[in-house]
Chain A
């Protein structure tokens, strides 16, 4: 069935270092891949997304890469700051009009000052 695997489950970095979180999806029909940041007790917030017709997308310190052949996508955060500490979720979807998102298990990122 549909599945998204996310690694690592926890990640600790020093402030200023880079952080990379990786996801693998099972359904080759997936065509939309968002990343959400969720702070404790708060809603998931979209930080970046990518569609299957694009290989890479950047937004300031955040970038996402997609390898459709391998069914892998990754989140890259550069120059990490303590406020980047949160749980990050990747997700995959097969359609527009707000179709079903399949989420990964989450990565708890801790950025130490």
Chain B
């Protein structure tokens, strides 16, 4: 049974550009959450989607947006990239309480 998958693995962008990150949850999981992990810190919650509806939003600017598709996969979009957006972006899928993380996308903004 496949785990959570994310693409791409690594990404390098320049300031001002936009980026789209993708996540496929574990089969049967209807909830997807996105987290940002800066080096040396714990993951910070960005969004949760359940059954294609936004269920929660963290303390991130409007440059961050997300959506969930009918097959429960999800995209995270970040516009007008800043140097401070450089981080590991983690997707987690869940069934009830437990959240399982994907391998993450390492975003570097130059």
Q: Is there contact, CB below 8 Å, between B94 and A100?
A: no
Q: Please count how many residues in chain B sit with their CB below 8 Å of the partner chain's CB atoms.
A: 31
Of A34, A96, A98, A103, chain B has the most CB atoms within 10 Å of the CB of: A98
Q: Is there contact, CB below 8 Å, between B97 and A96?
A: yes
Q: Is there contact, CB below 8 Å, between B99 and A101?
A: yes
Give the residues from 60 to 110 in chain B that come closer than 8 angstroms, CB to CB, to chain A: 90, 92-104
Please tell me if B58 contacts chain A, counting CB pairs below 8 Å.
yes
Q: Is there contact, CB below 8 Å, between B31 and A98?
A: yes
- Fill in one digit per residue for A21-50: 1 if any B CB lies within 8 Å of its CB, else 0: 000000000001010100000111110010
Chain B's closest residue to A89 (CB) is: B42
Q: Is there contact, CB below 8 Å, between B101 and A99?
A: no
When A32-B97, A34-B99, A43-B104 are in contact, do A101 and B50 touch as well, CB less than 8 Å? no
Please tell me if A85 contacts chain B, counting CB pairs below 8 Å.
no
- Fill in one digit per residue for B19-55: 1 if any A CB lies within 8 Å of its CB, else 0: 0000000000111110100001111110010100001
When A42-B103, A43-B90, A44-B101 are in contact, do A97 and B50 touch as well, CB less than 8 Å? yes
Of A93, A101, A103, chain B has the most CB atoms within 10 Å of the CB of: A101
Give the residues from 88 to 110 in chain A that come closer than 8 angstroms, CB to CB, to chain B: 89, 91, 93, 96-106
Please tell me if A51 contacts chain B, counting CB pairs below 8 Å.
yes
Please tell me if B56 contacts chain A, counting CB pairs below 8 Å.
yes
Interface residues of A (CB under 8 A from B): 6, 32, 34, 36, 42-46, 49, 51, 89, 91, 93, 96-106
What would 9 A/B residue contacts be, using CB atoms closer than 8 Å?
A34-B97, A34-B98, A91-B42, A97-B96, A98-B48, A98-B93, A100-B58, A103-B43, A106-B42
